[in-house]
Amino acid sequence: MPLIYQKIWSQNQKLAVWKLTEDEAFFINSLSWPEAELRHFKSLHEKRRLEWLSSRMLICQLSGIVDSSSIIKDSFGKPSLKDSQINISISHTNGYVAAFISEKSIGIDIQTIVDKIHRIAHKYLNLKELHAISPEHLTEVLHLHWGAKEALYKSYGRKQLSYREDIKINLDHINQATESIREQYPFSFSGYISKGALYEDYSLEALKIDNTILVYALKNGL
C-alpha cells in the first residue's frame, strides 16, 4: 500500500493518498478488527470490500487509533472518530484511497478522470457555471468543479444541499485558462455553501495524481 502523497500541517491535521496494491488479507492482518466490523465487511459487495478496509486503515494510520471500530457514522452517514474532536473525510477511486483528518470541518474527494463526467455535469453545475468554462481542458475542469463541490458537501455532512444552487466554487482562473492546466497544479482556490441563513466559507486545494484529480477543503473560521 504505497504512500504516493502526504501533507502534514500538525499532529491533528494530515492528508494522505495511497495506491492500492494489496489484497484483503493484508488489511485484515494489519489491524485489530472487532467481530462486528468483520461481519459488516463480509456483507459488502466484493468491489467495496477493499475500499472499505483500506480507507479505515489509512484513517487509523493518520489518527493513531488502533481499533477501527472507533470510526463511526452519524445519522446522515458522515464518518467521524468516536469520542474525538478530530474530523475525518474519506474518498476512493479505482485503486486509490485518500483520507484527511483535522480539527476543522473538512472534506476530500479523489476521482479518476473519465469522459463520462460530461454526461452528469448538468447535475452539479448550473447554466451560468457551465457557460463560464472554456472548452479547452473541459474534461479536467469539470472534474475540478465536481471534486470541489463534493468536498464541501462532505464537510457540511447533513445532506439536503443542491450542488447546482447551494454550493459555489471560485475557479475563474481555471475556467478560462489558456495555458496547459497541468502546469498549474497544485493550486488553491475558494468556495462556499449558502442556503437560507446558512453560510460557510472554505479554502480548497487541487492536485493531480497520476490520472486522478484530488480536491480537499477546509472550513474557514471556527
Residue 59 amino acid letter: I
Are the beta carbons of 82 and 89 closer than 8 angstroms?
no
**Structural domain harbouring 199:** 108-219
Counted domains in the chain: 2
Query: Alpha helices of 44-193 — where are they, by DSSP H?
Result: 46-63, 117-124, 127-131, 138-156, 172-175
Q: How confident is the model at residue 190 (pLDDT cuts 50, 70, 90)?
A: very high
Q: In terms of domains, do 93 and 116 share one? A: no
pTM of the model: 0.93
Q: In terms of domains, do 194 and 207 share one? A: yes
Q: In terms of domains, do 18 and 80 share one? A: yes
**pLDDT (mean) for 197-210:** 96
**CATH number of 128's domain:** 3.90.470
Q: In terms of domains, do 38 and 68 share one? A: yes
Q: In terms of domains, do 184 and 115 share one? A: yes
pLDDT at 67: 79
**pLDDT (mean) for 43-61:** 89
Torsion angle, CA of 216/30/26/113, rounded to 10 degrees?
0
**pLDDT (mean) for 173-197:** 87
pLDDT at 46: 79
